[in-house]
Amino acid sequence: MADLPVRFLDTMKKLLGEEYEAFLRGYDRRRDFGLRVNTLKVTLEEFERIAPFPLKKIPWIPNGYFYEEGDAPARHPFYAAGLYYLQEPSAMTPASRLPVQPGDRVLDLCAAPGGKATALGAALQGQGLLVANDINTARARALLRNMELFGIANAFVTNEAPYILAERFPCYFDKIMVDAPCSGEGMFRKNPAVAEAWLEKGPEYFSQLQREIILHGADMLRPGGLMFYSTCTFSPAENERTITHLLRERPEMEVVPMEDYEGFSEGLTSFDGEAFDESCRLCRRIWPHKMDGEGHFMALLR
């Protein structure tokens, strides 16, 4: 098991109760590897026929597949041609649960390096508009490269702070993805270095940032539009607390059900003496000891 921060483990013990030991055992299990097929360039049937290595379907992602680490798909010409995107299976979930339709105006607010933006762009099927934004200039360049590789022509990349976009695009977008910067607790197994960074900037730091970002996102949503909030962390401070803050500050917003899966878990309505909005039950959590993927939190809002 990775050398995990004691404060993190104490919180997880409170959070998980009798499931805590099963959660810890999960750190001794190898991580899962996934790729998502670019349906702008190839059908699933065609890709399965020409795939150069064995694939196993990810049951909750329509165009997602598990592969083995030794298959090295990043070194295959199909990767360079943009036929698929390499993405951790849980991280594929948010874009698959935001129901983008051709013709929508879509914003990915924290988009780099492009895992969710490329999925949203493919769902548009060349119709409508995708704005993919990232505040970090170097990461925005990587985002642009991946958008070009995927062949998404009806998109542009921006490199702005969310509050600036909110000034320019009030009540404009049909669908918004907010895959918020977070403490990354769900990635500790995949990348142990994230646990070291957690000691410097943990849940409280990111919780403040997320509360600002999600309000700017809500202000860019047209009436009746949908916004998806996700993190790759377990902390209720970064998840249910953020959603509760949004609902309090923007009372016109509501949590709505998303397409479910048997492995998903409900969101929390309280933790460690703190109460969250009752509708947080409709949020969904991915626990790595229950599913073949890393930790994730998701909320669909209208």
Active-site positions read 232
Q: 258-287 as b/e, with b when 16 or more CB fall inside 10 Å?
A: beeeeebeebbeebeeeebbebbebbbbbb
Task: Take residue 185 and report the two structure tokens written for it.
Answer: 């607790």
Task: Take residue 265 and report the two structure tokens written for it.
Answer: 């878990």
Q: How far is CA 154 from the centre of its chain?
A: 22
To which residue do tokens 């104490």 refer?
10
205: exposed, middle or buried (Cβ count in 10 Å: 0-12, 13-18, 19+):
middle
Task: Take residue 222 and report the two structure tokens written for it.
Answer: 């047209």
Give the SS3 label for residue 203. Answer: helix
Beta-sheet strands, E only, within 23-172 = 33-37, 56-57, 64-67, 84-86, 105-108, 129-133, 155-158
Separation of alpha carbons 240 and 192, rounded Å? 25
In contact, 39 and 122? CB cutoff 8 Å: yes
